[in-house]
Amino acid sequence: MEKDIVCGMEVDEGSDCNSLVNGRIFYFCSEECKNKFDKNPIKYIR
Ligand SMILES: [Zn+2]
């Protein structure tokens, strides 16, 4: 399992909602969380 860093939910790594940033893939529970992340990835990556 991967963690959705926008809402904190556990997400299956086969999820289609994912984004590649700095060579790392981030997974999301929904398009909504992915869109929030894509708008401002720096806010979520620490
Ligand atoms: Zn989410």
- In sign, the C-alpha dihedral spanning 34, 36, 39, 41 is negative
What 3-state DSSP class applies to 10?
strand
Distance 6 CA to ligand 1 centre (A): 6
Tell me the whole-structure pTM to 2 decimals: 0.88
End-to-end CA distance of the chain: 20
Q: 7 C-alpha to center of ligand 1: Å?
A: 4
Q: Is the pLDDT of residue 46 over 80?
A: no
Q: What is the pLDDT of residues 1-44, one digit of tens each?
A: 999 999 999 999 888 999 999 999 999 999 999 999 999 999 99
Number of neighbouring beta carbons within 10 Å of residue 27: 23
Residues with Cβ within 8 Å of residue 30, at least 6 apart in sequence: 17
Cα(32) to centroid(ligand 1), Å: 7
